Structure 1
Amino acid sequence: MRKHFQAFLSVALTLTLSGHAIADIDNCFMEAAGRYKVPAKLLKAIALVESNNKTDAINGKNSDGSRDYGLMQINSQHLERLQPYRITAPVLVRDPCTNIHVGAWILAENLVTTKGNLWAAVGAYNAGFSTKPKVQKARRKYVAKVRNALQRIGE
């Protein structure tokens, strides 16, 4: 199943990076949502929680030493997998559309891992899949924030 999403990402990001610039970020959310079969408003809520909709946000304060980049705060742990698609940290910061597509791709992968459990996938977007109580608590807290953001933007 992972190969399926890698192929999907390759096509999607080739289109995005090949000069097909989408000026309107809302269109990027809609396009990514359609391509990866995740709700556009949910992606927008995640962006609101992650970066407060700041496209050039960078967070280098994670406890594991990782950094987060751009609108969807893509964690540096994904950079190695993104390398074949020529997606680097600077691309994630300067190209919000690519950043949104990568965020949607990660969420879609999480949905596969959680067998379609949307809120478990959302929690894992932020805190991963560890079964440690501290991580489970972090996932619940993050899900509550995203639900709240969904209400604010009009679920």
Structure 2
Amino acid sequence: MLIPVTTACIIAAASTFNIDPLIIAGIMKTEGGKVGRYSTNSNGTLDLGPMQINDGVWIDEVANTFFLGDENMARQKLLNDGCFNIKAGAWILRQNIDLSDGNVLEGIGRYHSWTPKHKTRYQSKFMENYNNMMSRNP
């Protein structure tokens, strides 16, 4: 069963991890994922759901943190439960912001990649999407 993303899910994740909900919405826009869908990367890993959470990087930690180590459950929830996907994405983003000494834009870039060229490109794409969202909703 697919569970959609709702505004309430975004607000709950934002509150839990002390992140502006518009930042989460901006990452969702930048990632372009959807509930029940995945993208296959050139290295064979999958990016799952709305926040496009990479299974090769995160499935172990998500499984251990939220599902007592059950990787199959973690994968299914990340893929098919939009609300959980947003929660996990916000959890990952919070870790990256913290590892960036509280620098939100650096954390946003690291959400995508720690490789400088990929990180910088993602930050630019995020800022474009974020600014477009803000200009439509002043």
2:97 is aligned with 1:111: yes
Residue 51 in 1 paired to residue 51 in 2?
A: no
User: What TM-score comes out, normalization by structure 2 length?
Assistant: 0.83
Match of 1:148 in 2: 128
Counterpart Cα distance in 1 of 2:80 and 2:45: 19
Structure 2 regions of 5+ residues with no counterpart? 68-72
Instruction: Report whether the alignment pairs 1:68 with 2:47.
Output: yes
User: In structure 2, what is the Cα distance between the partners aligned to 1:102 and 1:42?
Assistant: 14
The Cα shift of 1:55 comes to 2.1
> Given the two structures, how large is their TM-score scaled by the length of structure 1?
0.75
User: 16, 21, 27: which one pairs with 1:40?
Assistant: 21
Task: Please list every run of at least 4 consecutive aligned residues from structure 1 whose deviation after the TM superposition is greater than 4 angstroms.
Answer: none
Distance 2:81 2:5 in 1: 12
Equivalent residue number for residue 11 of structure 2:
30
Amino acid at match of 1:100: I
Output the amino acid matched with 2:131: Q
For residues 50 and 23 of structure 1, what CA distance do their matches in structure 2 show?
16
2:20 and 2:80 map into 1 onto residues whose CA distance is 24
- Once the two structures are superposed, residues 20-43 of structure 1 have per-residue CA deviations (whole angstroms, 9 ceiling, x without a partner) of xx9761111111001101110010
Give me the whole-angstrom Cα distance separating, in 2, the residues matched to 1:105 and 1:59. Answer: 21
Partners of 2:29 and 2:75 lie apart in 1 by 20
Distance 1:64 1:47 in 2: 22
Query: Which shows bigger deviation, 77-86 or 33-42?
Result: 77-86
Query: Does the CA-based 8 Å contact 2:4-2:82 persist in structure 1?
Result: no
- Identity across the alignment (%): 27
Shift in alpha-carbon separation, 1:98–1:24, aligned structure 2, 3 A: closer
